[in-house]
Chain A
């Protein structure tokens, strides 16, 4: 296996996919069948509105500008990938460099926006992406492999290759079996009502599983009402995250009731 070529391919493939899907996300607005993505239009509208620029033209123009830059970045990375696959290292370097500069400029632009709009978490996110891009360019351009001897000993010739391959297959099959078993055992939770537990007089606790969504909430409340005709639901309290034993519980719901009159 040619380590140098493979590593460079991995870097280009990642960033090509990254920018390609970023462009797709801008082309497909909102949530559609087979695509969720992120609603950047809503995000930009809110950001600009917070500055006092409520005319949607500002957000639309900014988003269009960003999308154009993303499209340019994607094309540059895709071209670098194609030239790499054709074996032209020099040209691939040149395209990849343009792509990295374009992508780093985008993240720099985003970071300026994050500072203006006061979004420190996004600033951290974009700063990290910027750094990762710069570092992945260094790995792409100067992989830690001697260009004179880019190929290491072939994996197939090393001891234990066949047993390892078999072990990987067996592990995949075993894990796959567990996944299907777990799915079959728990999938009913997608719509099954959750059973309540009375934790104080007239107060019932519902411990929602991770698979539960709004449909489970509706079924749970309706089933509870049907099972307890002697009670009126007065108030429903969603337990804040502090009440959850870290990571173990998905959602806690408390239903406060009173006797029916």
Chain B
């Protein structure tokens, strides 16, 4: 039984993680773009812009690069899924399959890293190198944990009960706080914000964290209704360095002039 071995559970978690990781990457490629119930990432747009920045505008080039990535990801998924099945059936072949999946994973991130150098995206280079490293390390972990481990000691009843009660109390407190916050503040998702005069023909609008484009548009419409004799000259968005770290959400100023 899997549950008898802590090693086996961690090995199962590794295979499950990579299987799901590549499955969702494939789904993301197959769906393309944002839809109802799926946002994902528009990889075509990303690749097309990368290649266009190097002077290669044709969409087929981006498509071909995406196809190479999709092929590597497909095989990584298939081998990890196969490793998972072999593992669940207790077969030694799980290791070979997991190794093949790891090689495809390393290959995929090496391929992406080449592109990051080429297109000068240092943040993605860090991200892909980290994933390359995580893949390598998870393989090391997977092989190091081969073989049975000693079962963890069974905890006595009293600590279980205390932990259970404490957990229950914490769940109750946090859930109540979250639902109360939702009841009290969700209107901020759409409600317009009143502009506060801060100078001559100058108004400040401080956004709540829940505010988005709807709040912005409604705030502008409300401002126009409340100030029929003024017209918006320009809007100044307070840049990050002028905000109080994470305590301030978006703040902008509306500069106006009198209507002629």
Contacts and interface: CB of A to CB of B under 8 A. Distances in A.
B216 A190 contact: no
Given A158-B97, A247-B39, A13 B54 contact: no
A4 B154 CA distance: 38
Contacts of A128: 126, 129-130
Nearest to B76: A168
B167 interface: no
25 contacts: A6-B103, A25-B117, A34-B55, A35-B118, A36-B119, A39-B120, A129-B126, A135-B137, A139-B137, A171-B74, A172-B70, A176-B70, A179-B32, A181-B32, A183-B48, A183-B62, A190-B52, A200-B217, A200-B224, A205-B217, A210-B45, A234-B231, A240-B237, A242-B250, A247-B34
Given A37-B120, A132-B133, A164-B82, A178 B30 contact: yes
Contacts of B95: 152
Given A240-B237, A240-B250, A38 B122 contact: yes
Contacts of A246: 39
B67 A176 contact: yes
A218 to B, nearest CB: 16
Contact of A171 (B31, B78, B120, B249): B78
B123 to A, nearest CB: 8
B87 interface: no
Given A168-B74, A171-B26, A248-B34, A129 B211 contact: no
Given A210-B46, A247-B39, A182 B32 contact: yes
Interface string B86-129: 10000111011101100100110010011001111010001001
B131 to A, nearest CB: 11
B63 A172 contact: no
A102 interface: no
Interface of A: 1, 3, 6-7, 10-11, 13-14, 17-18, 21-22, 24-25, 31, 33-39, 125, 128-129, 132, 135-136, 139, 143-145, 152-155, 158-160, 164-165, 167-169, 171-172, 174-176, 178-184, 186-187, 190, 199-201, 203, 205, 209-211, 213, 234-235, 237, 239-240, 242-250, 252, 254, 256, 258
Most chain B CB within a 10 A radius of its CB, from A136, A210, A239? A210
A145 B143 contact: yes
Nearest to A25: B117
Given A179-B29, A210-B46, A245 B213 contact: yes
B221 interface: yes
B15 to A, nearest CB: 14
B74 A235 contact: no
A247 to B, nearest CB: 5
B79 interface: yes
B247 interface: no
A244 B34 CA distance: 14
Which range contains the number of B residues in contact with the other chain?
35 or more
Contacts of B56: 34
The 3 closest A-B pairs by CB, nearest first: A182-B32, A210-B45, A21-B117
Most chain B CB within a 10 A radius of its CB, from A175, A178, A183, A210? A175
Contacts of A35: 54, 118
B59 interface: yes
A139 B207 contact: no
A8 B144 CA distance: 17
B185 interface: no
B18 interface: no
Given A38-B122, A174-B30, A213 B67 contact: no
B86 to A, nearest CB: 7
Interface in B197-221: 207, 211-213, 216-217, 220-221
Contacts of A159: 86, 91, 93
Contacts of B106: 10, 14
A187 B57 CA distance: 11
Nearest to B79: A164
Interface in B47-73: 48-50, 52-57, 59, 62-63, 66-67, 70-71, 73
B93 to A, nearest CB: 4
B221 A237 contact: no
B82 to A, nearest CB: 5
A192 to B, nearest CB: 14
Nearest to B34: A248
